Every structure is written in structure tokens, then in C-alpha cells.
Amino acid sequence: MTERTRHVAIGGAFAVAIILTIVVLWQAFAGGPTPDNSRNSDSGTVTDSVEPAPEFDIPKIADCAPAQSDEVTKVQAQLQPHTGVATSARSIDGHDVYVAAIITYEDQPTSREPGLWVIRDGKIYAVGDTTAYSAAPPATDIGVFGDRAAASTAIGCAAGY
């Protein structure tokens, strides 16, 4: 794989991760999934216009906690060469520990939006589109989808909200 191809692949993976993070945050702060307004439920026809989403400010998130060094080490071990962790945060949901981290490439932040992992029973799993650039197995294998309040808190803390 050439260096340029590697850069494009990592950049594409991070773009997908940004989109996933925005969706997770939207669901967390808007009170659940956005209803599908593209179809009329009575007739099954597609409507021509969809109401635009309102603008909102992302509030500061309480109880931010930095990820512990062993958790950051687990995240780092799942990343591609030349990548690292700039900022990380954690949140706990029962026995699951969510770790969100801003990823760097050659010491430069690749995005303001973090990737998301869950640690369960000492094993790390990538949540959602984080699987595109993490070698960790997908969290869907253990029934975790990243839409829990703890996951949103970790994402918001790592992103600086």
C-alpha cells in the first residue's frame, strides 16, 4: 500500500467516524432517533420537502473524566502505524467503560471528533464506524451500538464540549 493510499484510507475512515459521531450526538441531545419524514405513512408516497433540523448549541457535559493510561494504551494498540491519541475521555455504564479519543496522524489531529471504543471484561471493542480505522473487533458483536448516555458523554468530553 502506497503512502498516498494509506493517507486517503485513513482520511476516509475518519470522515465516516465524524458522521457517526454527529449522528450519535444528535440522538443523545435531541432525545432519540430522528423520525423519517420522507414518507407519508397513510399513502406510502414520498414527500417533496423535509423540514430542516433546528440549530442548537451543544452544552458542556458534566462529569468529564480523562481516560486512564491503561485504557489509552488499549486504544493506541488498535490503531494503524503513525497514528496516536491526542485527547481521550471515559465514561462508565455498568460494567462497560466507554473511551473516546481524538486520533492523530504523525502528531497532527485528524479530526475534532473522537473515535469510540467500549471496554468490557478487559477486552476492547470498536463502536460504530470506529471499526474503519481500528483493529478492535466491532462492539456490535457484544450488543453495544454506542447510543447510550455514557458513550455520548465520553464523546462529548473528548471533543471538548
pLDDT, averaged in runs of 10, over the chain (161 residues): 65 64 58 41 48 66 89 94 91 92 88 89 93 92 83 89 83
Q: Does residue 83 belong to any structural domain of this protein?
A: yes
Q: Does residue 56 belong to any structural domain of this protein?
A: no
First to last CA, the chain: 36
Please tell me the distance from the alpha carbon of residue 134 to that of residue 38, in angstroms, as a whole number.
34
Q: Does residue 50 belong to any structural domain of this protein?
A: no
Give the CA angle between residues 92, 129, 135 to the nearest 5°: 80
Q: Does residue 54 belong to any structural domain of this protein?
A: no
How many distinct structural domains can be found in the chain?
A: 1
Q: Does residue 39 belong to any structural domain of this protein?
A: no
Residue 44: what pLDDT? Answer: 45
Q: Does residue 48 belong to any structural domain of this protein?
A: no
Are residues 129 and 10 in contact, defined by beta-carbon separation less than 8 angstroms? no
Q: Does residue 55 belong to any structural domain of this protein?
A: no
**Which triple of cell numbers denotes residue 26?**
444528535
Q: Which domain holds residue 18?
A: 3-32+64-159
Q: Does residue 113 belong to any structural domain of this protein?
A: yes
